[in-house]
A = this chain, B = another copy of it.
Amino acid sequence: MITHTPEPGRALWIYAHPRRTSLNGHLLDAGAAALSKRYDVTVSDLYGEGFDPVLAERDLGRAAPDPGSIVELAGEAYRKGEIPEDVRREQGRLAAAELLILQFPLWWYGPPAILKGWFDRVLTNGFAYGDLDPERGVPRRYGDGGLRGRKALVVVTAGEDAGSIGPRGISGDIDSVLFPLTHGTLWYVGIDVPRLHVVHDADGLGDTGVERETDRLLQRLEGLDAEAPLPYRRLRDGEYRGTRALREDLLPGRTDLGIHLREE
């Protein structure tokens, strides 16, 4: 199947924190309960399920030639139906869901390894993206991947405050720092991404702070269906010369990552 049609009313909450008794666990419990009023919610608790994030030989099929591109070999294994059971399960959950929540603590300015490896293993070539969609005549990436028709909210807790990870912050603007996730991963496979949901100062919130952040998450989820996604440019719209670099006439001279957002 080239595009996986989601089942209306299904949501998948991907949770990547070592503990359920943490702030993250509290936000998951409250958020999933609220979302359950409108969606059939499945939780992929990556730590709880002992997900192995290391893309390795078992992901490359029975007769993986050597040498070969690891990504291509995994794609070939997918096409032959030789994908490991845990990856198949996660792909099934992804294919069914129309709404995704990805929740994790920011470690070294990215997702924990267990979530990074969930992308490495689950978003295989062929399943999540590919060279050409023969039905539609467009490359299956950057807006037209195999998982289009879905929306993903990224919920991230950070120890730093809005100054340190905001525009001009010493650690880099979180929108840029997580661009490999929002644009390079989610948008690549066709998933719409509303603005990030960031919980700042997550290690020192106190009871009042936890209550405030819980309310803020519930409000965000409440209005999510009506939210417009980030207006990332589509590859098929011809704005990238030779499908590679942004055309010189669009935002000339700029080289920041914000150039990949359409002007609206």
Contacts and interface: CB of A to CB of B under 8 A. Distances in A.
A159 interface: yes
A138 to B, nearest CB: 14
Interface stretch (A81-89, A92-100, A255-263): A255-263
Contacts of A53: 53-54, 113-114, 117
A36 interface: no
A173 B105 CA distance: 25
A255 B258 CA distance: 10
Contact of A170 (B57, B72, B117, B235): B235
A166 B259 CA distance: 13
Interface stretch (A1-9, A146-154, A220-228, A241-249): A241-249
Contacts of A54: 47, 53, 112-114
A122 to B, nearest CB: 11
B159 A171 contact: no
B176 A257 contact: yes
A135 interface: no
A257 B172 contact: yes
B260 A257 contact: no
Contacts of A245: 163-164, 166-170
A71 B107 contact: yes
A69 interface: yes
Given A110-B180, A110-B184, A176-B257, 5 more contacts: A22-B70, A72-B203, A114-B117, A164-B243, A170-B260
26 contacts: A18-B56, A21-B67, A53-B117, A54-B114, A71-B107, A71-B159, A71-B203, A107-B119, A108-B116, A108-B119, A108-B180, A108-B184, A108-B185, A114-B117, A116-B116, A117-B117, A168-B255, A169-B246, A170-B233, A170-B235, A170-B244, A171-B184, A172-B179, A172-B180, A173-B255, A256-B256
Interface of A: 17-19, 21-23, 47, 53-57, 60, 66-67, 69-72, 105, 107-114, 116-117, 119-120, 123, 142, 159, 161, 163-164, 166-173, 176-177, 179-181, 183-185, 188, 202-203, 233, 235, 240, 242-246, 254-260
